[in-house]
Structure 1
Amino acid sequence: MADISEGWSETMDAIEETQKICDQVKPQVEEKTKRCYEEFIAVKYRSQVAAAASFLIKVHVGGCSYLHLKLLQNAESQIVTVDVQEDHCKDDCLVPF
C-alpha cells in the first residue's frame, strides 16, 4: 500500500523534468554535504502541491550511494534545497522528512 501522507504523491520513476531539477540544485546539495558528486542521477520522486510545490527526490550518486533530497519551489519559481539525507541505498523508501 502506498504511503500518501500529508498530501504527497505516490513514489514515481524520475522523468526528464526531475533530472533538470536535480541539475539545478546539485551545487546547493554539494555545499550542504561538503562533497562533490560525479554522478547525480534522479531515480525516483514524489511531489506535493500546497501553497508552493515541494519535491522529494532519490538521487544516485555513485556505487551503492543514494541521497534523498527535500526541495521547495519558492514564490519566484526557484528550486531551493531544504534538506538532504545521506547514506541511503537503492531500496530505501522515499518518505517525507
Structure 2
Amino acid sequence: MTHVTCGGFTDPRPATEEIQEICDEVKGQVEERTKKKYEIFRALQYRSQVVEGTNYLIKIHAGGFSYLHVMVFEALPCYGGEKSVTGVQQGHTSQDDLKPFGM
C-alpha cells in the first residue's frame, strides 16, 4: 500500500506510460536547463504530490551511468494544464533515492 502524508509526496512508484509522456513533453526544458542533449530520456520511477495541480519528482535514465532527478509541475486543467520543469538535479545513480528538492 502506498503511504501518503497529507500534502506530502507519495512513496516512489515505477514509472507509467503517463509519466513517460510527461518526460517526453518536458525534455526540451530539461535540455535547456542542463545545456545537454539526451538521446535516452527514460522515466524509471516517480513520486507525486497533489497541490493546486500536481508536482512530480521523476528519476530519469539519461544514458550510460547518467541519471537525473527532475521536478515537474502540472497545472490544473482549468489553468491550462501546462507542465513546467521546476528543478533538475544531475549526477545521480540508479540507486539514489528520490528526495524532494528545490521547493
TM-score tier, shorter chain, comes to over 0.9
Matches within 5 A, 1:6-21: 7-21=8-22
Taking the aligned partners of 1:3 and 1:28, their CA distance within structure 2 comes to 30
1:93 aligned onto 2:97: yes
- TM-score, structure 2 normalization: 0.88
Q: Which residue of 2 aligns with 1:76?
A: 80
- TM-score, structure 1 normalization: 0.93
1:3: Cα distance to partner? 8.6
Taking the aligned partners of 1:52 and 1:22, their CA distance within structure 2 comes to 17
User: How many residue pairs align between the two structures?
Assistant: 96
Structure 1 alignment gaps of length 5 or more: none
Structure 2 alignment gaps of length 5 or more: none
Q: Which moved more, 1:70-79 or 1:39-48?
A: 70-79
1:50: Cα distance to partner? 1.5
Q: Which runs of 4+ in 1 moved over 3 A?
A: 2-6
Q: Which moved more, 1:32-41 or 1:69-78?
A: 69-78
